[in-house]
Structure 1
Amino acid sequence: MEKKIVLLPGDGIGPEIVFEAKRVLEEVGKIFGVTFQFTEEQIGGVAIDKSGVPLPDKTVEQCLNADAILLGAVGGPKWDNVEPSLRPERGLLKIRKALDLYANLRPVQVMEPLIHSSAIKPEILTGVDLLIVRELTGGIYFGSPSERREIDGELGVVDTLVYKRSEIKRILKQAFDFARLRSGRVMSVDKANVLESSRLWREVAEETANEYKDVILEHMLVDNAAMQLIRNPRQFDVIVTENLFGDILSDEASMISGSLGLLPSASMNSSKLGLFEPVHGSAPDIAGKGIANPLAAIASAAMLLQYGLGLIEEAKTIEVAIERALRNGYRTPDIALTGDRIVSTTEMTDAVIEALKIASYSN
């Protein structure tokens, strides 16, 4: 079996963590007999520096011909003052549009070895296992016009929130499909008491629920959902919501795991082509210091195997290896508590690879 993987290291700590995730994938390939063909392309600030744009055409072309894509991170203060249309983050938005990556998946699970790393009480976190399904290519991030203009004689600003019924329908169907593979519950999050877009969202959610009689649909306003995620996260199975709300809620959910450095994500299209990336940002303040946490990137590689390539056993082996490395006491600085064994980026990956070998032998 041979699979083509495009690597998009990007900016900041992106190159470091993508390199470590690649090491893990190569080890998986050796264990399970899978050949990965890796191609590296540019996105974000590094693409601006080398090509003048945050997303070169060559990058899009290579990604369209790939089996899956692994991204590091984009952005940094170096590019804060470039023209808005050329900011590194535009590269990320554009690749989502170019590949029609409309469904963002963010699993949130609490690993027992790290349950005390979160600011939330352990008794609240025990047993948390939820999936946030976020619409990714519509809403206020992509609406037009989005501009500054004169309003009543003074400077004002306009951002536009646009959704078509078909866009809402397809992301809801994704959420219901995933719920069928889990405990059969969907929480649709909106702001239907204020926004017309949310009222349409809720109508389409009810319509979709009629097609999934085996799945329970509930609704929750986004402000309440933000509170409930911290108050009682165990009540959720699959959360589905629009782009802006999903962006905020999924980052808030990082507090459940204890660190953004632990959370992976996937962005998928209808053809199952996926872009897999850690939730955390580019962290330019620690880039090159060898202290970045590679676990979210490695977990993203596991999602790549499961959701992108259908290699479920291989993905599970990585997940088991991550937890085993944590149980063995390895910690990067961002998740370390007093008395923990603090290791470098490379050493953490070494620990995962060693655990990976043990996990594969036990299978």
Structure 2
Amino acid sequence: MKKQIVLLPGDGIGPEITESALQIIKSAGIDLDYVVMQAGAESAAKTGETLPSEVVENIKKYKVALKGPITTPIGTGFRSVNVALRKELNLYGAVRPSKNLEGIRTKFDNVDLVIVRENTEDLYAGIERMVDDDTAESIKRITRSASMRIAEFAFDYAVKNNRKKVTVVTKANICKFSDGLFLECARQTAQKYPQIEFKEILIDNLCMQLVVRPHEFDVLLCPNLYGDIVSDLAAGLTGGLGIAPGANYGEDGAALFEPVHGSSPDIAGKGIANPTALIRSAVLMLNHLDYAKEAAKIDSAVNTVIKEGKFTTPDIGGNATTKEFTSAVINKLK
């Protein structure tokens, strides 16, 4: 019986890179049953809804979703569909690996770190208002339950993936109550995992240290906002958002896999989008679905194509099209 997953192609370059990922998954010998649905700008244009209720219902039913990038307007327009999905599905734990791929020139070699991001609260809870015409106010909400939950998730992740160190990231010297609570929960959790080294760092110092000595870090445990920012910074260290995968996990077994990057409407339809981030997100999904062997084959094929450099897309120094890159990866699977 085929495994069923929800597929959200997304906006902008989403459909293009989604098609690439699906072709590669099939070429690796995996036959999944996709429940294709729309959300975001494309959905709004067709149905008037950015996140139809049946999308959430189907992800709850099938438990696993692969999602392309979805447009989020800046400053105006509808609220983020990405944030809404995490909230509706209680996808509290975001995992964003950042690792160098041979063949992409970067400032540092052998960077290999993972951002674990609390995904449900902090400023992303969207508790904000206009106090008056000239004053806007946002509330930063941190709770003990969510902080303990993500701290335990991070340490469990470290143990299961043979990671040696967890570093908690806060601004607890200034946000003494909110970030202070997050830090307190991380400290309490660390005591349960004596085999894992535990460190603390302030967010501003972390940003400086990452661009000077990124090899000092392993697993970074972050509140929501800091995790979002740091994951992009880490992607920059390892080759850019075009190769950065992401996964989101919930308490009830739901899991959503997506690239870290946005929908890039400026290059949509030009055939030059880099599908690597979505393919690597699909690799995380396949491991989650117990297709470890096939996932490893895909990961190796992508790495080999990028290392050889003959069919890489413009964002990572090549001149290949999306289709040419995809075909090169498929050829490596044969």
TM-score (norm 1): 0.88
Give the aligned partner of residue 298 of structure 2.
Answer: 318
Output aligned runs, 1:196-345, within 5 Å.
196-306=177-287, 308-329=288-309, 330-336=311-317, 340=318, 342-345=319-322
The DSSP-based 3-state class of the residue aligned with 1:163 is coil
Contact 2:272 2:320 in 1 (8 A): yes
**In 2, distance between residues paired with 1:208 and 1:67?**
28
Structure 2 residue corresponding to 1:62, chosen from 47, 58, 62: 58
Q: Percent identity?
A: 39
Task: Work out whether residues 122 and 225 of structure 2, in 8 Å CA contact, stay in contact via their aligned partners in 1.
Answer: yes
Match of 1:105? 95
Count of residues in correspondence between the two structures: 331
CA distance in 1, matches of 2:185, 2:192: 11
Residues 242-295 of structure 1: CA deviation (Å, up to 9, x unaligned)? 000011100111111222101110011123321111111100000001000011
Structure 1 stretches of at least 4 aligned residues deviating more than 3 Å after TM superposition = 79-82
Contact 1:43-1:92 at 8 Å conserved across structures: no
**Aligned residue runs from structure 1 range 81-120, under 5 A:** 84=77, 86-87=78-79, 89=80, 91-114=81-104, 116=105, 118=106, 120=107
Amino acid across the alignment from 1:165? R
* Corresponding residue SS for 2:34: strand
Instruction: Using the TM superposition, give the Cα deviation of residue 184 of structure 1 relative to its aligned residue in structure 2, in angstroms.
Output: 2.1
2:23 maps to 1:44: no
CA pair 97-135 structure 1, distance change in 2 beyond 3 A? same
User: What residue number does 1:351 align with?
Assistant: 328
The residue that corresponds to 2:171 in the other structure is 191
Which secondary structure state, in structure 2, belongs to the residue aligned with residue 64 of structure 1? Answer: helix
Residue number in structure 1 paired with 2:120? 137
One-letter amino acid matched to 1:240: L
Tell me by how many angstroms 1:212 deviates: 1.0
1:73 equivalent among 69, 73, 96: 69
Deviation of 1:143 (Å):
4.7
Does residue 156 (structure 1) correspond to residue 135 (structure 2)? The answer is yes
Cα distance in 1, alignment partners of residues 184 and 63 from structure 2:
35
Give CA deviations for 1:291-344 in whole Å, capped at 9, x if unaligned.
0001111111101111x31322222111111111112322101111xxx5x211
2:178 match: secondary structure: helix
State how far apart, in whole Å, the 2-side matches of 1:316 and 1:130 are: 19
Report if aligned partners of 2:94, 2:116 keep a CA contact under 8 Å in 1. yes
CA distance in 2, matches of 1:109, 1:182: 15
> Is the 1:73–1:281 Cα contact (8 Å) retained in structure 2?
yes
Structure 1 segments unaligned to the other structure (5+ residues): 358-363
Number of the residue aligned with 1:167: 146
Give the SS at the match of 1:104.
strand
Q: Structure 2 vs 1, CA of residues 212 and 17 (structure 1 numbering), >3 Å: closer, same or farther?
A: same
For the aligned residue pairs, the C-alpha RMSD in angstroms reads 1.6
**Structure 2: 5+ residue stretches without partners:** none
Query: Which secondary structure state, in structure 2, belongs to the residue aligned with residue 12 of structure 1?
Result: coil
- Could you tell me how far apart the structure 1 residues matched to 2:297 and 2:148 are? 34
Residue equivalent to 1:3: 3
3-state secondary structure, aligned to 1:10: coil
Give the 3 Å change call, closer, same or farther, for CA 143–332 of structure 1 in structure 2. closer
Aligned residue identity for 1:136: N
Alpha-carbon distance in 2 for matches of 1:20, 1:327: 19
Determine the C-alpha separation between the residues in 2 that align with 1:218 and 1:347. Answer: 44
Distance between the aligned counterparts of 2:31 and 2:331, measured in 1?
20
Partner amino acid, structure 2, of 1:147 = R
